[in-house]
Amino acid sequence: MNESLLRVEHLVKHFPMKAQTFWGDRQYVHAVDDVSLDVRRGETLGLVGETGCGKSTLARCIVRLENPTSGRVIFDGHDITSASEDELRSYRQQMQMVFQDPYSSLNPRRRVGSIIGDPFGIHGVASGTERKRRVQELMDLVGLNPEHYNRFPGQFSGGQRQRIGIARAIALKPRLLVCDEPVSALDVSIRAQILNLLADLQKELGLTILFISHDLSVVRHVSDRIAVMYLGKVAEIASAEALFDHARHPYTRALLSAIPIADPDLDAAREQIVLSGDPPSPIEPPPACRFHPRCPRAETMCAVEEPALIARLSDREDHPAACHFPVKDGESVAAAGKPS
């Protein structure tokens, strides 16, 4: 049996810019550029990266809210990249999405019961009293009071709204849940409630989750494996443990060192890598390794030859990193390469 539920192969998504240059060339935003990864059955794959790294675009391409420019998305052995709308509908019973903003992803003029019940109607699964019964069951499952069936989204707090979004997403018992920054808009105490809920649901329903976030500490908490993206490319993929203990890519190291830790002793003890500059524009990404202009280890080669995403040093096959000068265990990021 195939162990991966979802495979993404060489996925590319370029958005054309409105304005053309003086010579009439059209410019493109290179949102996702040749990304390959797989999500194994029953696991949570965390996808981290900063604003504009393409993580949300990748998610939207996977559930086909966007059509990829090239590359393939294979769900459970079927290529869905070119599936028709009808075919997609049946796949969407099996893959659902939870969005970041629980305010804009729920129609304010519709009652919660009918929002959560929508999937039953669209896919012709249940109607009438059966539908209401199942919606109330779902509300109970995600920790909402089933008596609030007839309320409007505006009558719920942010955390409760995210529960509504989750109830809607799991209504059809999907196999894959794509969560795009599901807790970023929530307060700390509410965030923990939602993270616990997702963990419980995963256990109960056997969900496979693609969890997208900019927050590495949240991703570490929920994920079995983690992929790090930078400017449309995957920089490194590893098990959560290996990524935190043996990160090879200097960008991963920098991200790890920038996580705010609520423990002054731990905070003082770790290596501080403060990157210079901002992430460059995805319209004209730097050549070769896209991280090289900000990388403390960059050498001439990094601007010439793109590093392949392969296992480095003596790492296992399933821990690839796209870097010519991977960081060894216990080595400081700035140490190798050029003297700083």
Partner 1 sequence: MTQLLLDVRDLTVSFHTSDGIVEAVRGVSFQVDRGKTLGIVGESGSGKSVATQTVAGLTRGARISGRAIFEGRDLLTLSAAELRAIRGPGIAMIFQNPLTSLHPFYKIGWQIVEMIRAHESGSAESARRRAIELLGHVGIPRPERRVDDYPHQFSGGMLQRAMIAMALALKPRLLIADEPTTALDVTVQAQIMRLMRRLQSEFGMAIILITHDLGVIAGVADDVVVMYAGQVMEQASRYGLFRQPSHPYTTGLLGSLPRINFPDERLTAITGQPPSLIHPPSGCPFHPRCPHVMDRCVTSVPAFMAVPGAEAHRSACWLLDPESIS
Q: How far apart are CA 42 and CA 39, in angstroms?
A: 9
> What is the 3-class SS of the chain, one letter each residue?
CCCEEEEEEEEEEEEEEEEECCCCCEEEEEEEEEEEEEEECCCEEEEECCCCCCHHHHHHHHCCCCCCCEEEEEECCEECCCCCHHHHHHHHCCEEEECCCCCCCCCCCCCHHHHHHHHHHHCCCCCHHHHHHHHHHHHHHCCCCHHHHHCCHHHCCHHHHHHHHHHHHHCCCCCEEEEECCCCCCCHHHHHHHHHHHHHHHHHHCCEEEEEECCHHHHHHHCCEEEEEECCEEEEEEEHHHHHHCCCCHHHHHHHHHCCCCCHHHHHHCCCCCCCCCCCCCCCCCCCCCCHHHCCCCCHHHHCCCCCCEECCCCCCCCEECCCCCCCCCCCCCCCCCCC
Options 41, 66, 193, 337; binder of partner 1; rule CB under 8 A: 193
State which residue, 9 or 215, has the beta carbon closest to partner 1.
215
Q: Considering only residues 70-89, where is the footprint of partner 1 by CB under 8 A?
A: none
Q: Does 246 bind partner 1 (CB under 8 A)?
A: no
Q: Considering only residues 277-296, where is the footprint of partner 1 by CB under 8 A?
A: 278-279
Q: Which stretch binds partner 1 (CB under 8 A): 96-104, 105-113, 251-259, 315-323?
A: 251-259
Number of residues counted as binding partner 1 (CB under 8 A): 44
Give me 330's structure tokens: 């216990």
Contact track, partner 1, 201-230, x by CB under 8 A:
-------------xxxxx-xx---------
Give me 186's structure tokens: 């929530």
Minimum CB separation of residue 323 from partner 1 in Å reads 17
Residue with tokens 């990829």: 68
Q: Does 19 bind partner 1 (CB under 8 A)?
A: no
State which residue, 1 or 262, has the beta carbon closest to partner 1.
262
State which residue, 179 or 218, has the beta carbon closest to partner 1.
218
Options 21, 51, 314, 340; binder of partner 1; rule CB under 8 A: 51
Contact track, partner 1, 258-277, x by CB under 8 A:
xxxxxxxxxx----x-xxx-
State which residue, 73 or 236, has the beta carbon closest to partner 1.
236
Minimum CB separation of residue 276 from partner 1 in Å reads 8
Walk across the sheet containing 44-48 and list its strands: 95-98, 176-180, 208-213, 44-48, 225-230, 233-239, 320-321, 310-311
Minimum CB separation of residue 187 from partner 1 in Å reads 4
Contact track, partner 1, 143-172, x by CB under 8 A:
--------------x-xx------------
State which residue, 118 or 215, has the beta carbon closest to partner 1.
215
State which residue, 198 or 302, has the beta carbon closest to partner 1.
198
Q: Which stretch binds partner 1 (CB under 8 A): 76-84, 170-178, 191-199, 332-340?
A: 191-199
Q: Does 50 bind partner 1 (CB under 8 A)?
A: yes
Residues forming contacts to partner 1 in the complex (CB under 8 A) are 50-51, 157, 159-160, 187-193, 195-196, 199, 214-218, 220-221, 240-241, 244, 254-255, 257-267, 272, 274-276, 278-279
